[in-house]
Structure 1
Amino acid sequence: MTRILIAYYSSYGHVRALAEAEAEGARGVPGTTVDIRRIPETVPEAVRESAGYVADDTPEASPADLANYDGILFGTPTRFGMMAGQMKQFLDQAGGLWAQNALVGKVAGVFASTGSQHGGHEATLLSTQIPLQHFGMLIAGMPYTFAGQTSREGIIGGAPYGAGTIAGADGALAPTETDLAGARFQGAHVARIAAQLAAGADRSEAA
């Protein structure tokens, strides 16, 4: 079985919705098992409540768990053109895996939510990939075989660098069906690549 992890941080539910779509796409690839985990919160509960953060009972991810998967998709909101601090702190705790080369050759993808079309959407997708490449992971984006990203029907998130959605400055916009379709596409894309790499490794070991 090919094991895929969807690890996300979400404040208002937009990234969580994308994560669920990513998981749906990955599960559609035969022989794939998928786990969804949320990145641990660092904001005090009182602040979460006053800011209107959405409650989330999804089990938490642990940095040590990353080594157990063939492919990992990371989802984050945008904070000034970069990943959320919660995601950065989580990745910073994976130094032991980096030292052991435990993530080298695993497939990774990134998806994101941003407040506006020009609020750092692509910058977040790209900058989040940087530490993943330091881990030695192989980056899979969202190729133009997903034609939805060229749609002119409304406000569409995502880019060749990964799936995404535009939440609006007040967070009132929900992911569009095109955004969710892009996430499903990316989830399946990463799962297929991970399965092909795992099958190739098995053949090499058997030779």
Structure 2
Amino acid sequence: MENPVNIAVVYYSSTGTIAEVAGELAEAAEKAGAAVRLRKVAELAPQAAIDANPAWAANAAATASIPEATSDDLVWADGVLIGSPTRFGNVAAQLKQFLDTLGPIWQQGLLAGKVYSGFTSAGTGHGGHESTLLALSHTFHHFGGIIVPPGYTDAAKFADGNPYGTSHFDQGGTVPVGDVTRAAARVQAERVVKIARATRAAAERDAA
């Protein structure tokens, strides 16, 4: 029996929006036949700051059982979905710190040739959705990755409106992740699984 394609979903989330999107992506990838690792990156904020924000504290408790990401998760993966809330139009410091630890495996070429795709959220409608996803793509270029955006490949993407990746507008934390975002996430996950599977099959043929 053919081994399943390996998909890592790696994210940072403070108050839970990105954690929900990551969970939707992971579930959709599994349904598409992938072996999935759902991983959060390490928190850098002091506990006092987390405790002072009820939503942040609630998310920390709710996701306590999710393992922290390591470089091994990316080495294992054929495809990687990486997510961050937007911070001034860029990725969160916690995710950037994790990416900065990947130098050793990057130098060995272990990040090249994999499929990569990003997801994000923002509190305002034009608060950096696209710029955050494009910032992630800069890293994917340096990895030598195969960047797979969802594009407008499904009607759900016209509803979500973002061809660069899944993004959610939570209006300052007042709008939970709903059907539009979940549908967009499923489209993205299925596309990543499909192309990662084809990419791995081609590499295996070349190596045979």
**Same fold (TM > 0.5):** yes
The residue type paired with residue 66 of structure 1 is L
State how 1:102-181 maps to structure 2 within 5 Å: 102-151=110-159, 156=160, 159-169=162-172, 171-181=173-183
| Alignment map for 1:1-207 (pairs within 5 Å) | 1-30=4-33, 32-52=34-54, 53=56, 54-55=59-60, 56-57=63-64, 58-151=66-159, 156=160, 159-169=162-172, 171-206=173-208
Secondary structure in 1 matching 2:136: helix
Shift in Å at residue 40 of structure 1? 0.7
Amino acid at match of 1:6: V
Structure 1 residue 27: deviation in Å?
1.2
SS at match of 2:52: helix
Partner of 2:13: helix, strand, or coil?
coil
Letter in 2 for 1:200: A
Task: Determine if contact 1:27/1:188 at 8 Å carries over to the other structure.
Answer: no
TM-score, normalised with respect to structure 2: 0.92
Which protein is richer in helix relative to its size?
2
Q: Please identify runs of 4+ aligned residues in structure 1 that moved more than 6 A.
A: none
| AA of the residue aligned to 2:89 | G
- Between the two proteins, what is the percent identity of the paired residues? 39
Give the unaligned 5+ runs of structure 1: none
Does the 8 Å CA contact 2:86/2:129 hold for their aligned counterparts?
yes
**Cα contact 1:26–1:189 (8 A) shared by 2:** no
Note the aligned Cα RMSD (angstroms): 1.2
Shift of 1:97: 1.3
Flag structure 2 segments of 5+ consecutive residues without an equivalent: none
Q: Give TM-score scaled by structure 1 length.
A: 0.92
Matching residue's letter, 2:41: I
Task: Write the distance in 2 (CA, Å) between the matches of 1:198 and 1:131.
Answer: 21
Deviations 1:13-64 (A, max 9, x none): 110111011112211223x201101011001111111123022211111124
Q: How many residues align?
A: 199
